[in-house]
Structure 1
Amino acid sequence: MKIMPCPLNGPRNISEFVYGGELKDMPDQNHCSDYEWADYVFNCDNIAGIVREWWMHAPSSYWFIAERNTITDEILKTYDPKELFQQRVEFSESSPSSVQKESMT
């Protein structure tokens, strides 16, 4: 049985967790190209070695970051995202009608 140490809930069976993807820098959504945004959302580097990844403890819906060696599958460290991020990213909202009007012009 593989155990992952959850920063909030302590050591748990790996079956309680959901992989959320690689942690990577988010481009400025208001000034990047469609290609840059699609690359951020859909592509991953998939490197061999130590990576930082998003994981979620499913029973508590708690998201956290894990450092994992992709070669050995060893979990090196887990921690709360607050250790890396100081503020929440707010996305500007476009109403569906304004988007539709823009695409028609």
Structure 2
Amino acid sequence: MMLIDCPYCGPRNETEFGYGGEAHVAYPEDPYALSDAKWAEFLFYRDNPKGDFAERWVHNGGCRKWFNAVRDTITYQFKATYPAGSPRPNVSGGSQ
């Protein structure tokens, strides 16, 4: 069992959480101006680095709030969790 530290509820079992993909992906300023290829790139293409990676998570078995986390994709260790809308904290190492 792994504990994930929800920034609103504190540490909880990993089974209470859902993964939401890459964090800090900006919505296009004018989505109607995008070609189909650029729209598909926005929707489906994400980074997949080895090392520290900012991700979105939801605490669906608790407060049901979205938050961001920096997780090492090699060791699966969570380096930091922080509320959605907050800037990414500076953690040592990583690729992003």
* TM-score bucket of the superposed structures, by smaller chain: 0.7 to 0.9
**With structure 1 as the length reference, what TM-score do the two structures score?**
0.72
Deviation larger for 33-42 or 54-63: 33-42
Which secondary structure does the structure 2 equivalent of 1:41 belong to? helix
| Alpha-carbon shift at residue 50 of structure 1 (Å) | 0.8
Structure 1 unaligned residues grouped into runs of 5+: 85-105
1:6 Cα deviation after fit: 0.2
What corresponds to 1:52 in structure 2? 54
Q: Which runs of 5+ in 2 are unaligned?
A: 88-96
**1:81-96 alignment runs, 5 A limit:** 81-84=84-87
Structure having the larger proportion of residues in helix: 1
Counterpart in the other structure of 1:20: 20
CA deviation map 1:64-83 (0-9, x unaligned): 00000101111000000131
**How far, CA to CA, are the matches of 1:81 and 1:31 in structure 2?**
27
How many equivalent pairs are there? 84
TM-score, normalised to structure 2's length?
Answer: 0.78
Give the RMSD, CA atoms, in angstroms.
Answer: 1.4
Query: Share of identical aligned residues, percent?
Result: 40
Higher relative contact order (CA 8 A, sep 6+): 2
Secondary structure of the 2:48 match is coil
- Structure whose CA Rg is larger: 1
Contact persistence 1:27–1:36 (CA under 8 A): no
Structure 2 counterparts to residues 1-105 of structure 1, below 5 A: 1-23=1-23, 24-28=25-29, 29-59=31-61, 60-84=63-87
